Structure 1
């Protein structure tokens, strides 16, 4: 199944975003959430507060790219001002101890994109990727492909990249897969069905290897 997130381009004006939102309202049944993407630096989430307030009033979930190229403060703004359900990327959360605790306590997921971050120079080496450190801090992180055609890998390639570079265990990979369903916008019945299938698969994997 597919759920659509309609993103506003943050390098354009808030007025442009509001116009886009208003034009999308007749198609609200096709759109689950609204998001914020494009050039992050110099375009903080606070620029779009009124647009996101209207989106929330109209019943949309909200997400935002924050803390990939921009500072940890952008993540704070996305959480506190835009009331997001998820943060896209969020690498720079590692720069703010209080923010890490907030994300963990409030169970706000981060959708990490390893190969994309490497290609764009957000990290220099995959071995430096903060995914495992975030997991160890109790943050819900997921592995995502971003734009596969541009960044050299679909979801499996991204899993393999972090598995090899960070020496992740089978239980780490299971947790990441589990997180992806928990952080999704699937309805609860579909989400629980998917999680149960994942649990059965993991049980078979463990049994077949005598672990």
Structure 2
């Protein structure tokens, strides 16, 4: 061990208390098997699993699509405002336990409205839990509505229309789901419209898709932040551009491992990103499915890559500087990190 840590347990204790933000979290991906069963029973929904253990055994993925197939199946238990509240509240309790002070969470309205669940039901349940967590834990939040990229741009436009009455609670729009074959350019017009409405812009790019998708996210969508971005490293000119621009990458180590984006955490590019001057952050993505919330991601990658205290501080600082908080709030969180260290 080096740089202030006497042991792995010393580093783990440090990570556990380090103030941090989470910028890449799909709220539907925090649905734990226990809650899935509870909601299925509450709503009279039949699920194709006999036990919690059977659900966890199904969480073995070889690629993004394998995961998405079961992810959308899990969504089927979410029906009422209380369901969305309980889902979000469970995540926020875990985030609080991980010393997360601010969250910027994604939700996928198309995955619900297509099942007949009203847009208002989804967002009202989620925001009620966000408000409760602010009152209870002091956690602040931003809410990002994602468009499902395997669906059409017209479908995304209709979703943006549905969101208009709720823009007071929506801070940004994103792009997720099956990446390969669905480039950011497919959604140029709806993102242009969203930006004109004053919404922040993010997009999943460079997870399984090529560096060209990252360029499209930058040049056509005008993203404020890149979700994942791993494959940017294949293009030195792109790396230099991202570093110069101070573009935040919301990196998800355990997700990358579970979806076989990397074969081993020891091969994860996070340290390379930091060394290249990229504003990388650590996030949990879909923690129920990928085996860990934000601290588990920090701990796993810190051990595998032997991250120093300075690198951990950089990651935590990046999570706030890359957030959509105002400058005063960012400064307060950065001061908390300085005081902690």
TM range (shorter): over 0.9
Measure the CA separation in 1 of the matches of 2:325 and 2:294: 18
Alignment partners' CA distance in 1, 2:325 and 2:203: 18
Match of 1:161 in 2: 300
Q: Distance in 2 between matches of 1:33 and 1:188?
A: 18
Question: How far apart, in 2, do the equivalents of 1:102 and 1:21 lie?
Answer: 30
Partner of 1:99: 238
Structure 1 runs of 4+ with >6 Å offset: none
In the TM superposition, what are the counterparts of 1:160-179 in structure 2 within 5 Å?
160-179=299-318
Please, which of 258, 261, 265 is the counterpart of residue 119 of structure 1?
258
2:321: which partner in 1?
A: 182
Alignment of 1:44-193 (within 5 A): 44-193=183-332
Q: Which runs of 5+ in 2 are unaligned?
A: 1-139
Q: What's 2:145 paired with? A: 6
Which secondary structure state, in structure 2, belongs to the residue aligned with residue 186 of structure 1?
coil
Distance, in Å, in 2 between the alignment partners of 1:179 and 1:193 is 14
Return 5+ residue gaps in structure 1 as ranges: 203-211
Distance 1:84 1:187 in 2: 18
1:189 Cα deviation (Å)? 1.6
Structure 1 residues 136-168: Cα deviation after superposition (integer angstroms, max 9, x where no partner): 111100000001111000011000111011110
Please state if 1:18 is matched with 2:174: no
Q: With the length of structure 1 as denominator, give the TM-score of the two structures.
A: 0.95
Measured in 1, the distance between the counterparts of 2:259 and 2:277 equals: 27
Q: Secondary structure at the match of 2:262?
A: coil
In the alignment, the residues of structure 1 paired with residue 221 and residue 173 of structure 2 have an alpha-carbon distance, to the nearest angstrom, of: 11
Deviations 1:72-114 (A, max 9, x none): 1000000111000000001100100100000000111100000
- Give the distance between the partners of 1:28 and 1:149, measured in 2 at CA: 28
**Radius of gyration: which is bigger?**
2
Q: Distance in 1 between matches of 2:245 and 2:309?
A: 26
TM-score by length of 2: 0.59
Distance (Å, rounded) in 2 between the aligned partners of 1:181 and 1:201: 15
Cα deviation digits, residues 33-79 of structure 1 (max 9, x gap): 00000000000000000000000011001000000000010000001
CA separation in 2, counterparts of 1:166 and 1:65? 24
Q: With a CA cutoff of 8 Å and minimum separation of 6, indicate the structure with the bigger relative contact order.
A: 2
